[in-house]
Amino acid sequence: MNRVIITILLLVCTSVGATKQVDTKQDFKSLMHGVWAEFYTEDGKILSYMSYLPEGRFHAFGYFEDDVRSYWFADGLWKMDGDQSCVVFKFDSFGAMQKDELSCVTVLSVTKDTLIYRDNTDNSINTLKRVSTGFVK
């Protein structure tokens, strides 16, 4: 009887493991390339974008929710270190980040449509939606 139970448990555990698909951390970097909607309203209006470029740069740009006529832009360097996506700000028109300040988030999942990360400062979980891969077809 014990053999039957152990055999069943082994079969269940191996079949669950075989069907589970997990992105490797190496895949995160290439999957993140492109333009993402970073902040958006419930009705789908996009307020800001984040663009990760293959050459290791990022651009962020958008509008203020309370005044869409006010536009901001940020630029800098970007790299992946395991599951950490890190940016160094070289310019921030809004002044929220100091020049050369490092900021990292923990990437939890990246698919062709969605990027989910945990903010390392406040532990909030955030979801970005892909706008473009950044490549012209």
Domain-embedded: residue 26 = yes
Q: What is the pLDDT of residue 96?
A: 74
Contact call for residues 91 and 72 (beta carbons, < 8 A): no
Q: pLDDT tens digits for 99-113? A: 888 999 999 999 999
Domain-embedded: residue 32 = yes
Domain count, the chain: 1
CA distance 95 to 28: 29
Q: pLDDT tens digits for 49-93? A: 999 999 999 999 998 777 777 888 999 999 999 999 999 999 988
Name the 3-class secondary structure at 84. strand
Domain-embedded: residue 43 = yes
Domain-embedded: residue 80 = yes
Domain-embedded: residue 8 = no
- What CATH number is given to the structural domain containing 90? 2.40.128.280
Q: Using CA atoms of 100, 72, 112, 57 in order, give the dihedral in degrees to the nearest 10.
A: -30
Count Cβ atoms within 10 A of the Cβ of residue 15 and give its class: 0-12 exposed, 13-18 middle, 19 or more buried: exposed
Nearest to 64 by CA among 45, 44, 87: 45
Domain-embedded: residue 76 = yes
What residue numbers bound the domain in which 30 lies?
Answer: 21-132
Domain-embedded: residue 7 = no
Domain-embedded: residue 2 = no
